[in-house]
Structure 1
Amino acid sequence: MLFTFTRTFHASRTVLHLRRHASTSLLSPNHSIYVSSSTNPYFNLTFEDWLFRHKSPEKPMLLLYRDDPCVVVGRNQNPWKEVNLRAAHEAGIPFIRRFSGGGTVYHDLGNTNFSIHLPRATFDRHATAQVVLRAVRSLGVDATVNDRNDICVGKDKIRLILSVTRAVLRSADGRLDIYVSGSAYKIVKDRAYHHGTMLISTRLDTLGELLRSGKDTMETRGIASVRSPVCNLQQHGAQVSHEEFVNAVVNAFREEYGVVEKVHAVDDTGGAQNIEYIRKGMAELKTWDWAFGQTPEFTYKIENTFPWGTVKAEFLSKHGVILSCVLYPPEGAEESVKSGLALMSMVLEGQRYGAADDRPRSLARDSEDLWAVWDWLRKAMDS
């Protein structure tokens, strides 16, 4: 099913009314404004990438969508560092590595995502932030853009709805900027895009739980997100809906770039299934090679105290594979413990991080102390 949009005019603003109808038309990268009715994050992220690769770069383009609950990490990030994988698994919420850089964000139906594509020669991050700012202001929200192209709302202009990063920073006048969500950029050859999130009524408790990994001793060469306080647009007296925000961004986009074309509605059925690039892209996002295998090199130092002493471990991993795991036995440990830990290190080398064997046959079957160490390591990697 697709959505069609009709236009009426109120106070010089275009209001889009959604009417559901069946459609068998094929998807085309030749439109200027797209609104996805699909809430499948694998489709929306792949569709965005397909548009970026196939849309003519000479003309501006806008895509708006929202997703079912998921955690989206940046192209060059470490999911073990960024995401509470155990909590996500227990909640049935997937994490997805997107095609662009930037930090980790949480998506659900209370969060609306925008993507503004422009020719590289005219791409301006401040200008695209201003488009979203005008949309927010048109909804009756007092907002400004700071010197980092972040949109601030609230009485003291300290709450941010849109941000370039999720770091907590102080602005030039000493204000504490509190980042709610994140936005990222991608530039390839003659085209570029700026995409980001707008938290409207998202589950902030779930967001906080899933983006708290607790791995302070994990050091990665990838881009690390910095935790910060968050809030929703609706927390500031604005009873804004997804549809109202979509309308506002569409109007602001049209005014900025002189676009008169109607909105093109899409979903993940029909024509989408006939495009090989989208089918393959959706499948790739779900693979281990993409989700974990793209992880930059990282080290992780941990220790645990057992009744018989403290064991320290130091992992080195790249592309999701354990390159080495050095295990340090307790002082005065017996030779059997030392040799057992040395053998354990060799067994772990070359295995996928977070997917070590349950109980390898090569380890002694009668050493409960060593099995306790093995189970601790597996749990540490799997969380």
Structure 2
Amino acid sequence: MTVLCLHPTDLDPYFNLATEEYLLKRFTDDIFMLWRSESSIVVGKHQNALAEINHRYVRDHHIKVARRLSGGGTVFHDPGNLNFTFIKNVDRLEDVNFKVFTQPIVEVLQKLGLDAYSTGRNDLLIGGKKISGNAEHVFKKRVLHHGTLLFNSQLEKLRNALKVDLSRFEDKAVQSNRSDVTNIAACLPHPMSVDEFARFIFEEVAQSFPKRQFLNFSDDDRQAIRQLRNEKYSQWDWIYGYSPKYKYRNELATANGSLVFSLHVEKGKIKESHWEGAISANLSRKLSEKLVGINHAEEVLQPVIYELKTDLETEHIFADRLLERLV
């Protein structure tokens, strides 16, 4: 079977994730794609997005948050990271395993003099440190497998963006396993740029297919992908609203003592809240009424909390400090 190969240059993570779904569901060929995105955090399909990110760091550093079609843990994308995607038709889904897709990547890395290997799980390592995380999604009898390749990614940015206090969240979402990571560039016996690395990976993998064809999207293809990007992948309802239901707990020290609260969130919206400690019954009721039905997001919570600023400060609760604790 002919394998379609493409190496798009668009750095928009939402467009790239939409491209994967479009290729999976609208094409019937086997496919290999190599791509990159600007700085972004990409959570797995079944994860609680808010529980995976340091949302203030992400906001302040203009890092996009996205949700992909596959399960598994959270990964970090930036232009120093490559993403590879394989889409394959299969007769028996039970015969497909990660090694079918990761082994070609391992072999290409080894051609560069890298001692890369798979742990048998969903990652690739060099010297005991992770360079690649992988995940899969099945649609009918087509398997989408994709993974990262940290080449010269901003690892400190990665660590800070994914630093979060999980003790605040109670849910049944898939949680990421944090691993020690390293950049491939630091392990190469001979230096090369990320563009040189990308060309090498793409050409070597493409040449491994006896029958290959290089794919260029038509205007209709790009329009359909753009529509999927705009209507799904860039939308709050998909990125945050698709998260499993969860309970968020936190507390705030006030001049009157400790204020303890919890938010019950479903599909990204606050269904109910509970307030205890240094707060009057009347203010507790007002907060509960105002918060119900709104998105658990700082930009949505801010005007609601500021509306109650006078009531809050009467009880020595500062609106800004409460807002910081609410997300």
User: Which bin holds the TM-score, normalised by the shorter protein?
Assistant: 0.7 to 0.9
Q: Identity percentage over the alignment?
A: 26
Unaligned runs of 5+ in 1: 1-29, 163-181
Greater C-alpha radius of gyration? 1
* Counterpart-to-counterpart distance in 1, 2:320 and 2:124: 46
Query: C-alpha distance in 1, partners of 2:308/2:18?
Result: 44
Q: Return the structure number with greater helix share.
A: 2
Shift of 1:346: 2.5
CA contact (8 A) 1:183 1:196 kept: yes
1:256–1:125 CA distance, 2 compared to 1 (3 A): farther
Residues 48, 223 of structure 1: alpha-carbon distance in 2 compared, 3 angstrom cutoff: same
Partner of 1:187: 138
Partner of 1:42: 14
Q: 1:135 touches 1:251 (CA, 8 Å); kept in 2?
A: no
Correspondence for 1:307 among 249, 255, 259:
255
Q: Is the counterpart of residue 353 in structure 1 residue 291 in structure 2?
A: no
- Which one of the candidate residues 244, 249, 260 is aligned to 2:201? 249
- For the residue of structure 2 that corresponds to 1:372, the secondary structure is coil
Amino acid at match of 1:259: K
- From 297, 305, 310, the equivalent of 2:245 is 297
Structure 2's unaligned 5+ residue stretches are: none
How far apart are the structure 2 equivalents of 1:273 and 1:200?
33
Query: What is the rounded CA distance, in whole Å, between the counterparts of 1:367 and 1:152 in structure 2?
Result: 51
Per the alignment, residue 258 of structure 1 pairs with 210
Partner of 1:379: 324
What residue is the counterpart of 1:106 in the other structure?
76
Q: For 1:134 and 1:91, how far apart are their aligned partners in 2?
A: 36
Partner of residue 91 from structure 1, selected from 58, 61, 74: 61
The normalised TM-score by structure 1 is 0.76
Report deviation, 1:240. 4.0
CA pair 265-44 structure 1, distance change in 2 beyond 3 A: same
Whether the 8 Å CA contact 1:144–1:153 is kept in 2: the answer is yes
**Structure 1 residues 147 and 289, CA, compared in 2 at 3 Å: closer, same or farther?**
closer
One-letter identity of the residue aligned with 1:218: F
Distance 1:247 1:309, change over 3 A: same
Out of 19, 25, 30, the position equivalent to 1:60 is: 30
Is the aligned partner of 1:339 residue 2:282? yes
In the alignment, which of 214, 218, 226 is matched to residue 279 of structure 1? 226
Change (3 A) 1:60 1:245: farther
Spell out, residue by residue over 1:204-254, the C-alpha distance to the aligned partner (whole angstroms, 9 max, x if none): 111111111224221222211122221101222342433444344345534
The amino acid of 1:278's aligned partner reads: I
Asked whether the 8 Å contact 1:324–1:348 carries over to 2, the reply is yes
In structure 1, what is the Cα distance between the partners aligned to 2:306 and 2:250?
25
For the residue of structure 2 that corresponds to 1:343, the secondary structure is helix
Q: Distance in 1 between matches of 2:34 and 2:54?
A: 27
Structure 1 residue 281: Cα displacement: 1.3
Distance 1:359 1:160 in 2: 43
Bigger drift between 193-202 and 277-286 goes to 277-286
TM, length-normalised to structure 2: 0.88
- Aligned equivalents of 1:380 and 1:149: distance in 2? 34
Aligned residue-pair number: 319
Distance (whole Å) between structure 1 residues aligned to residue 119 and residue 96 of structure 2: 19
Local SS of the residue matching 2:317: helix
1-structure distance, mates of 2:250, 2:122: 38
Give the drift of 1:71.
1.2
Answer whether contact 1:139 1:248 (CA < 8 A) is retained.
no
Aligned partners of 1:39, 1:291: CA distance in 2, in Å? 18
Q: What RMSD in Å do the two structures reach over aligned CA positions?
A: 2.5
DSSP-derived class of the 2:324 partner: helix
